[in-house]
Amino acid sequence: MASVQGFDPAHSGQHPVDDDGNPARFGVWGDSDTGVGVIGTSGVPSDGAAARVFNAGVEGHSIDAPGLYGHSVTNDGVLAQSEHSSGVLGVTFTPAVPGQGPDAHGVFGVSTEGGNGVVGFVGQATGVVGDSVEGDGVQGFSGAGNGVLGESFGSVEAGEIATGVAGISDNGWGVRGISASRDGAAGLTTGEGAGLYGLHFSAETGSGAYGMSVLGSGVEGLSFSRDPDVGGVVGENPQGYAGVFFGKVRITGSLSKGGGGFEIDHPLEPEDKYLRHSFVESPDMLNVYTGSVTTDAGGEAEVRLPEYFEALNSDFTYQLTVVGKFAQAIVSEEISDNAFTIKTEQPGVKVCWQVTGVRKDPWAVANRISVEEPKGAAERGGYLHPECREEAAAEPEHRGRSHKTRDRRLRGIDQLVPKALRPDVRQRLHRILEGRRADPEELRSLILEATREAAGERPRGRGRDGRARLEEQWRQIQERVQRQRNPR
């Protein structure tokens, strides 16, 4: 049977009590005001060296087994408390093998019946903190549940901008998600906010959100809303392009726009100029077909149209232009079997022709354009392009159709911009974001000012000097470990 040895150093004078203030009951109590309260050792070191002791309430040393092991059927296996230091400090000397995980851990928590392996709880600071000089600060693995789960009950309405999981980095990813079979990162909200919200708050060039895929879609957006201000993907930029695409663009539904055209390198000065043309607009879904023919000796010519012409079109119209001589030309036989006939009063006349037809395919019939449509109640009194109207400039409340969406984005920005910004800086930021035209230099200056002000808002020990502090902490730990390995 193992023995329990007691020594008699100076006592701390503590009198342990339970939650009711009554004297506590315990199997073994170790008490010291100068050293370790209880120390447990197991195994024989190969070099015969003695275990280096550091002051702690309970300290455990082992060669091949856990240094400290706690087991409970219904409650905490190990509970440690400290007023000024770490509740639990775990150290392992097992070297890390490149490409493999360590065989031992400084702290290892496991649960087999649905409980938590390790729980960190605190009233004001951080429940669990993971720091690493070279590796991962916190690493979570799960066979079926969450590798890492963070919850926050902060209320935005109460001015508490709290997050379930927060990631901060000066040089790498703030938060990085990797999955071998599902989404790398997933966001869900049951309130008014966004499932995933990205804000690029910097004077440098960057993106609020960036998506890249090797074989799939770089970014996908889906919405079931019928609100005209809501889309699967929404882009807005009062200063430039709301969307920029390099490559083909495919739209399977209808397209509504204020105007449009093509832009190409200018044929005569391709290195120095662009050439732009506008689209041709029509209240009907028109298809246009053109060509030219020369009538035969009898003054007739047949024009063959594509085989699908009559299956696709209805309500045909014709335009004929005679070229090279004065002569009359008519459509002598209208379209039948995807062809029509032109007749001129003279033989050998060149005729340029144009035929239009209105689409009658099933999608077109089901999606006819409403040429004149009343504005909705939320849009009435405003303009799509208020910056182009003098009366709108005199009355700022005449904002564009997307004002509701912009207001929601401004509320989202309020949740993400640094809290340390002075109220006047935040007001200036709002004025710029609400306006249809902003001075880019003013915005850049404001962001630089805001970034400097927010520098003091980072958690203690983080920021640009965070790595230096972390390396100093790691150096101190290495010294302690070295003294424990090689006691004098």
Domain count, the chain: 3
pLDDT the model gives residue 399: 54
pLDDT of 167 above 70: yes
Other beta carbons within 10 Å of 312: 14
**Confidence class of residue 439 from pLDDT cuts 50, 70 and 90?**
low
The mean-pLDDT minimum among 3-7, 60-64, 311-315 falls in 3-7
Q: For residue 189, give the nearest of 227, 156, 141, 228 by alpha carbon.
A: 156
pLDDT the model gives residue 159: 47
Is the distance from CB of 290 to CB of 352 less than 8 angstroms?
yes
pLDDT of 460 above 50: no
The secondary element (H helix, E strand) that includes residue 392 is: helix 390-394
| Residue 270 in domain | no
Domain match, 394 and 456 both: yes
The average pLDDT across 462-468 equals 58
In the numeric block, the tokens 């342990």 are attached to: 16
The average pLDDT across 388-417 equals 58
| Residue 325 in domain | yes
Please state whether beta strands 339-344 and 329-336 pair in parallel, antiparallel, or not at all (unpaired). antiparallel
| Residue 266 in domain | no
The average pLDDT across 481-487 equals 63
DSSP for residue 258 = S
pLDDT the model gives residue 330: 97
Domain match, 398 and 479 both: yes
* Residue 356 domain boundaries: 286-366
**Confidence class of residue 265 from pLDDT cuts 50, 70 and 90?**
very high
Domain match, 427 and 471 both: yes
3-state secondary structure 337-368: CCEEEEEECCCCCEEEEEEEEEECCHHHHHCC
**Confidence class of residue 227 from pLDDT cuts 50, 70 and 90?**
confident
Please state whether beta strands 339-344 and 274-278 pair in parallel, antiparallel, or not at all (unpaired). unpaired
pLDDT of 411 above 50: yes
What is the average pLDDT value for the chain, to the nearest integer? 76
Predicted TM-score (pTM) of the model is: 0.60
Domain match, 361 and 424 both: no
- Rounded to whole angstroms, what are the CA distances from 36 to 69, 140, 204, 384? 17, 33, 54, 75
pLDDT of 278 above 80: yes
| Residue 433 in domain | yes
| Residue 294 in domain | yes
| More confident site: 416 or 217 | 217
Q: For residue 3, give the nearest of 48, 49, 40 by alpha carbon.
A: 40
Is the distance from CB of 166 to CB of 382 less than 8 angstroms?
no
Which of 303, 333, 366 terminates a domain? The answer is 366
State the CATH number of the domain containing residue 319: 2.60.40
CA distance 340 to 300: 11
CA distance 482 to 48: 16
Domain match, 427 and 473 both: yes
| Residue 281 in domain | no
| Residue 464 in domain | yes
**Confidence class of residue 37 from pLDDT cuts 50, 70 and 90?**
confident
The average pLDDT across 405-428 equals 59
Domain match, 343 and 411 both: no
- ∠156-409-152 over CA atoms, to 5°? 25
Q: 426: which residues sit within 8 A by CB, 6+ positions away?
A: 414, 417
CA distance 287 to 356: 6
Tokens at residue 193, please?
């906010």
Domain match, 406 and 325 both: no
CA distance 150 to 422: 30
In the numeric block, the tokens 């005679």 are attached to: 322
Q: How many helices (H) and strands (E) does the chain have?
A: 7, 10
Residue type for position 269: E
CA distance 427 to 433: 10
Domain match, 394 and 478 both: yes
Give me the residues paired with residue 119 across strands. Answer: none
Other beta carbons within 10 Å of 442: 12
The secondary element (H helix, E strand) that includes residue 42 is: strand 38-42
Q: Is the dihedral of CA 98, 102, 107, 112 positive or negative?
A: positive
pLDDT the model gives residue 375: 85
Domain match, 401 and 341 both: no
Residue type for position 448: L
Which of 366, 401, 434 terminates a domain? The answer is 366
3-state SS class at 423: helix
Domain match, 355 and 418 both: no
Which of 72, 91, 122 terminates a domain? The answer is 72
| Residue 227 in domain | no
3-state SS class at 393: helix
